[in-house]
Structure 1
């Protein structure tokens, strides 16, 4: 794993249905993300926050809320993440809402194409985020990033990575899903997205789930983790705008992160949808930092290096 990580703050809630995720990057810094990563032998470059348009808080136009602003924020995210990958660093995009996954993952996909690397995307989330402007009940673009990345969305967004689609559905593994809109559900089945929902995790356990989600990777695979904090059960992570009961417990989430770390293939990370305005004494940010540490090798027991 790369020993130099770059933090890129993207302070916007432009794609969300509640205000406040724009404060997420600072909450993660306040929760000690930088010293936590340094404690694992990593060199941390904090690139500060990107800038972009303010949230106009307008109703949807043709099924999309704030599309011009969403495009601007995602273009900036794409360029920043791509620059860090090109410099040989491991980018950590601190959101902001999950629409920013469009810019981040399109940059990772572009870099993988240029390097001849395979891509695997783990989408840790309560939601499938596979809506389109026809399917969406809200018009909020944070419910659409996976669909956009797979080529289903407005031209300005699907083309951000320079190749359409940016990724194929087959590179994605969704974990922790438990809230999917009706039309979205049909669409997910149509395109063959691989989804490990909470029922699957309940029946088969997190270990088996992660073994499948991480299967068939090799040393030439770039693993990208897109971690929406609403993946976690709201009992332990209240600071999100879209809480859905029945998510992974603390230990299930830790196991998930530890098994990702065990692969040694983590190449980039998004941490999104942390909303300090809805949090309790920065509890959710503290937990997110704890789990990010596990992604970078913190484990419960002393384990010998493999």
Structure 2
């Protein structure tokens, strides 16, 4: 006998509406993309208690050399990421005139990149990409777009390399936040915003700032970095990833939103739907970081097949 009911599942203060929740243990979201019930299917993910350094994840207060480096990163980030700076960077990098290459070629370039803002890992970035993708693939085997999204979500970090402009770390990595409105207290190392030139503009100091409530995140200027750049690359090159995948790429570092619930008043209905997917993705992005290595050659054929499905052979970067 099959029993179907309608119910709501509350996760991280976001309500996920379910329809015909039968013995398939699935949640159906708008857009005909099926999300498995995490309490059943996602239970295999073994969330570690400590990061690669033996400490709590995202602990920005512990005293060690790595944390001092991370704090200095955020000091620079909060001083120099201004509304005008982000506008300029978006206009410059939307040209996609640096070079042409495939997605996998870009993955291999990340062997040269280490994220100085990350308090949990100091391995080359390709390790993190594969760890995240493989963890999601295990728990959500039928959502191939989500596997690929995990693989490519950090590819924008190539902005650190000379051929992409060799931008400073504070302009590429780290948590992101809106410009043009008040800086929320939940932003990591919030104290350093006092030196940001935007603090001198009264129009930017209110909750809504220059925006209107419900305007949609696509209309909000978010601090510049690898998220926005990779979103531009995917969008402008005609990727067929679903909107939820593009949303994850663009806002996965927007921790004030998806971890603290800040700035929700700027979201529209489409953002609310896509945020559900981002919160599913986030635990794998954060907690799959470890010293465990993934056999690249073993998994490479699978990810190449997904790249061919959702992207052109060569992309403009």
When normalised by structure 2's length, the TM-score is 0.32
Larger Rg: 2
More helix by share: 2
More strand by share: 1
